Amino acid sequence: MNKMDAFLLIRYYRNEVSDSEKKEVEAWLNESSSNKDQYIQQVRIWESASNASIFDKIDKDADLHRIKNSENIPMIKFTGIKRWVSVAASIILLVGMTFLIYQNLNYSKETRDTIIVTCEKGTGSKEVKLPDGSMVYLKSPSQLSYLKAFTDSIREVHLDGSAFFDVQKNKDAFVVKMNDAYVRVLGTSFMIDEKKDRLQVNVQTGSVEVGKHQDPENAVFLEPGENVVLKNGKLLPGISNDANLLSWKTGIFVFDDSPLMDVFENLNEYYSKPILVDTKFNSPCNLTATFDNEPQEIILKTIMFTCDLDMIDHGTHFEFKTSK
């Protein structure tokens, strides 16, 4: 696994990098899933260190006393302001060393205590039960990471991809963090669908807060039946009207005058054997039908006869062609 400077990753997370540094980090992230895991770990460490208030726990007077009386640290005697500059520099050095030690210890512990679940492409979906009893249904291809035990009065997970969450209600907030945004709830069920150019959150029950890491004060609050799309840096609220939003999880498909390419896309999200079309495929047929956990081949034969198409079973995939 290629290593990336930890401080550069944190500056990237805080949006404090130059354009060239941003391109460097994003290119590194796209190299492998292990690089994304390393980035997630560094962000979690930084957040834990920030919440720990370690600087408040340092006894600065005691540290100054140890510096003055240590035989191992050579002290250069100055008078007036120069002497206090020297002392201040020593304190800053000590605080910095304390933070680095804390960070390394915390990194080691969080690495051991972090669970990473991956739902590979083409494998349908995967159920994950979290430490608090909440359920997550990962949609392929996606990855979820979380601690073995939630701490600090917050239940936090990191998601790369898409998933449906059914969150157990309790007094502790439940937070899902993605690359550019977060979702915060107490107890609810909702769907996060993340694609390359946009992120969409749909609420099924309860209420949900959705915001951007860099702009949390302008978060959007959603009720059941509502959704929000994050695209081009903007949060755009709307109403959920996709009957097949959870078809990849339930196996129930409702098509109402749906274009065939949309139908194939929905089916490919649930069934492991992909559906492809011929390069010259151009069917004007729209499909109106409902399927409830039917075998894939029965659904495809229904489409073939309804829309007068040719279908070839290649073993590894199905191919549709427009009938001559």
The second-level CATH assignment, the architecture, of 120-239 is Sandwich (2.60)
247-322: CATH topology = Phage tail protein beta-alpha-beta fold (3.55.50)
Burial of 270 (0-12, 13-18, 19+ CB in 10 A): buried
Q: What is the pLDDT at residue 94? A: 54
- Separation of alpha carbons 141 and 125, rounded Å: 8
Give bridge partners of residue 313 from the DSSP assignment. 318
- Separation of alpha carbons 310 and 317, rounded Å: 14
Q: Are 36 and 29 in contact (CB under 8 A)?
A: yes
**Which run of H or of E encompasses 166?**
strand 154-166
Phi first, then psi, for residue 204 (nearest 5°) are: -100, -45
Estimate the share of the chain in helix, then strand, then coil, as percent rounded to the nearest 5.
Answer: 35, 35, 30
The runs of H, that is alpha helices, within the chain are 6-13, 19-29, 33-52, 54-57, 60-69, 81-113, 247-250, 260-268, 296-307
Phi first, then psi, for residue 288 (nearest 5°) are: -125, 110
Q: What does the block give as tokens for 207?
A: 């209420």
Q: What is the pLDDT of residues 7-34, one digit of tens each?
A: 788 778 777 878 888 888 888 888 877 7
Whether the model pTM is above 0.75: no
- Separation of alpha carbons 21 and 36, rounded Å: 16
What residue type is assigned to position 202 of the chain? Answer: N
SS3 44: helix
High-pLDDT (> 90) share of the chain, %: 49
Average per-residue pLDDT for the chain: 81
Q: What is the pLDDT at residue 66? A: 46
Q: What is the pLDDT at residue 131? A: 93
> What number is the average pLDDT over the span 210-230?
92
Higher-confidence residue: 319 or 44? 319
Q: What is the pLDDT of residues 129-186, one digit of tens each?
A: 999 999 999 999 999 999 998 877 889 999 999 999 999 988 889 999 998 899 999 8
> What angle (nearest 5°) sits at the alpha carbon of residue 278, between those of residues 269 and 301?
60
Q: What is the pLDDT at residue 307? A: 94
Only one residue has tokens 């050095």, namely 93
Domain definitions of the chain by residue range: 6-113, 120-239, 247-322
- Separation of alpha carbons 271 and 122, rounded Å: 8
Give bridge partners of residue 126 from the DSSP assignment. 138
| Residue 83 pLDDT exceeds 70 | no
The runs of H, that is alpha helices, within 80-187 are 81-113
Q: Residue 160 gets which letter from DSSP?
A: E
Strand pairing class (275-277; 309-313): unpaired
Q: What does the block give as tokens for 22?
A: 């941003």
Burial 136-165 (b: 16+ CB within 10 A, else e): bbbbbebbbbbbeebeeeebbbbbbbbbbb
What is the Cα 279 distance to its own chain's centre? Answer: 34
Range in 7-16, 27-36, 106-115, 229-238 with the lowest mean pLDDT: 106-115
Q: Are 227 and 216 in contact (CB under 8 A)?
A: no
